[in-house]
Amino acid sequence: MAAGATAALAFLSRESRTRAGGVGGLRAPAPVTMDSFFFGCELSGHTRSFTFKVEEEDDAEHVLALTMLCLTEGAKDECNVVEVVARNHHHQEIAVPVANLKLSCQPMLSLDDFQLQPPVTFRLKSGSGPVRITGRHQIGKAHCAKAGVGGLRGTRAGQEGPGGGPALGRELASLFRAGRESQGVSQQVTVQSSPNFTQHVREQSLVTDQLSRRLIRTYQLYSRTSGKHVQVLANKRINAMAEDGDPFAKLIVETDTFGSRVRVRGAETGLYICMNKKGKLIAKSNGKGKDCVFTEIVLENNYTALQNAKYEGWYMAFTRKGRPRKGSKTRQHQREVHFMKRLPRGHHTTEQSLRFEFLNYPPFTRSLRGSQRTWAPEPR
């Protein structure tokens, strides 16, 4: 589909440049200085189409230069197909797909100022979006005073543009054929990573980071309610009844991706703490699933809450007797979900101190003259 869309865009761009000069480009268009205005529309499950058109009596030259199609906040990880729709000389709709966006692999498509002439309709064929379409509305400078910004008018689904669509319809028909028949066309449409770092973090938080180096920490989780530590037993049971220094209470915490997401496993058993669809804490030998990922949330009272990444709003929790509590019955303000990180008994911060080397220099003393400095050995 990528090669077909590329060929389609290349064909339509070439035809749009020659259309003003007559059939087949027999007469080259005269150079016209254009004034640009920002254009943008959004397609979603509520607004599945948008029509870009100008007034019928407007004789100015209008060009829509598309720059980018991208998924915005709230988009799901599904295929979102965007079509360009127009009518041919038989008043039949011709629809050509130009983009297939997916949050996990292709959230954005750059069109490099791809030019179209109105009227043209953008339609969200599949998916729920929201998909943002941005570009520039260019108007011939010689006719700017006559046309003005008011020459642009957008309509929603169910409204048709004015006449004058046969030329664009013929282009779209040829565009559709070119998209199906073309093979091996050079890639002109490029996929770019999001320049918005906040959006990048949000998108990367949905999947496991397979490239970055894992940060591994070892500590105990002290339960605020039971007064003891979380432990993972060999029989795959999880509770908060371990004493300080118990080997089953020693936990290994591995980073998963952005957003303080971690995986917790017992150091003695190697089993991961996970949560099933009923909200029950279970132990698994394979912790690659999203149900084994927890988000560390530091609360205002300096306790830490662990929210499951798959079931948002469900937390790791234990009762006063140390028994696990269902995640569906937990809230962030409850004492049962509050934990404190503690180093195991006898486990000092020697590993961190070995990273640095401290040198003991002997203190220096001044000579009697005061102009020279001499080093004196440290008294023992």
pLDDT digit string, tens, across residues 64-81: 888 888 888 888 888 888
Q: In terms of Cα–Cα distance, which of 175, 65, 180 is closest to 117?
A: 65
Whole-angstrom Cα distance, residue 12 to residue 4? 12
The whole-number pLDDT of residue 123 equals: 86
The whole-number pLDDT of residue 148 equals: 42
Whole-angstrom Cα distance, residue 316 to residue 238? 11
Tokens 């020697």 identify what position? 350
Asked whether the predicted pLDDT for residue 25 surpasses 50, the reply is no
Average pLDDT over residues 12-39: 51
Structure tokens at 286: 């394979």
Q: 364-366 and 120-126 as β-strands: parallel, antiparallel, unpaired?
A: unpaired
Tokens 């498509």 identify what position? 109
Average pLDDT over residues 150-157: 42
Which stretch of 242-246, 249-253, 308-312, 349-353 has the lowest confidence by average pLDDT?
Answer: 349-353
101 CB contacts (<8 Å, ≥6 apart)?
69, 70, 71, 79, 80, 82, 107, 108, 109, 127, 131
314 CB contacts (<8 Å, ≥6 apart)?
275, 279, 307, 308, 327, 328, 330
Q: In terms of Cα–Cα distance, which of 251, 315, 263, 265 is closest to 292?
A: 263
Which stretch of 57-61, 217-221, 323-327, 334-338 has the lowest confidence by average pLDDT?
Answer: 57-61
Whole-angstrom Cα distance, residue 16 to residue 229? 70
The shares of helix, strand and coil residues in the chain, as percent rounded to the nearest 5, are 20, 35, 45
Whole-angstrom Cα distance, residue 187 to residue 9? 11
Burial letters 286-306, b for 16+ CB under 10 A, else e: ebeebbbbbbbeeeeeebbbb
- What's the pLDDT tens digit per position in 193-216? 445 556 655 565 556 655 555 678
Q: Which option is the CATH number for 216-346: 2.80.10.50, 3.50.50.60, 1.10.10.10, 3.30.930.10? A: 2.80.10.50
Which carries the bigger pLDDT value, residue 365 or residue 269? Answer: 269
Average pLDDT over residues 8-14: 50
Asked whether the predicted pLDDT for residue 309 surpasses 60, the reply is yes
**Helical (H) or strand (E) element with 347:** none
Which carries the bigger pLDDT value, residue 310 or residue 120? Answer: 310
Whole-angstrom Cα distance, residue 108 to residue 202? 15
Which carries the bigger pLDDT value, residue 354 or residue 96? Answer: 96
Domain ranges of the chain: 2-23+32-196, 216-346
Which fold is adopted by the domain 2-23+32-196? Jelly Rolls (2.60.120)
Per-residue pLDDT band for 53 (boundaries 50, 70, 90) equals: confident
Asked whether the predicted pLDDT for residue 283 surpasses 80, the reply is yes
Whole-angstrom Cα distance, residue 247 to residue 346? 12
The whole-number pLDDT of residue 18 equals: 46
The average confidence (pLDDT) of the chain is 73
The whole-number pLDDT of residue 377 equals: 55
Which carries the bigger pLDDT value, residue 64 or residue 93? Answer: 64
The whole-number pLDDT of residue 215 equals: 78
Dihedral angle computed from the Cα positions of residues 214, 220, 226 and 228, in that order, rounded to the nearest 10 degrees: 160
Q: In terms of Cα–Cα distance, which of 154, 127, 199, 158 is closest to 40?
A: 154
Whole-angstrom Cα distance, residue 71 to residue 134? 11
Asked whether the predicted pLDDT for residue 107 surpasses 90, the reply is no
One-character DSSP codes across 211-238: SSPPPEEEEEEEETTTSSEEEE-TTS-E
Whole-angstrom Cα distance, residue 42 to residue 130? 7
Structure tokens at 97: 């797909």
Q: Which residues is 175 bridged to in the sheet?
A: none
**Helical (H) or strand (E) element with 272:** strand 272-275
The whole-number pLDDT of residue 73 equals: 85
Find the largest Cα–Cα distance for the chain: 108
The whole-number pLDDT of residue 371 equals: 52
Cis before 130 (ω within 30): yes
Sign for the CA dihedral angle at 72, 310, 100, 128 comes to: negative
